Amino acid sequence: MPKVIFLPHEELCPEGLAVEAEQGENVLSIALKNGIHIEHACEKSCACTTCHVVLREGFDSLEESDELEDDMLDKAWGLEPESRLSCQIEVADEDLVVEIPKYTVNIVSEGH
């Protein structure tokens, strides 16, 4: 069973966390189920960038992002080549190492 390893994040998971995951399970849901409250302003509908993460390992095991996700990612703070929206990442057959960026862009909470 693959693992999802969340790297330490100062506010959301200071110690980091490693959990087993079912193939096909969504990374945002895994985080939320395990007490890591990644923002998700659009309720997992791929309509914002608040759940942006960077895959430090396992990126190549994932299905490619689609055009909608790529368009959303273009608006994310701190975009990197291995950036994805955690609501769109389905666990495949390899472990994933996930870094949650320090900042996020949340137009809803920022009132823009």
pLDDT at 111: 43
What is the CATH superfamily name and number for domain 3-105? Beta-grasp domain (3.10.20.30)
pLDDT tens by residue, 21-70:
999 999 999 999 999 999 999 989 999 999 999 999 999 999 999 999 99
pLDDT of residue 46: 94
**How far apart are the C-alpha atoms of 81 and 84, rounded to whole Å?**
9
Tokens representing 73 are 């990612």
Distance of alpha carbon 11 from alpha carbon 20, whole angstroms: 22
- Please, are residues 84 and 53 in contact by the beta-carbon 8 Å criterion? yes
Is the pLDDT assigned to residue 108 strictly greater than 60?
no
pTM over 0.95: no
Give residue 106's pLDDT band: very low, low, confident or very high (50, 70, 90): low
d(CA 87, CA 40): 8
The pLDDT value given to residue 29: 97
| Distance between CA atoms of residues 75 and 71, nearest Å | 7
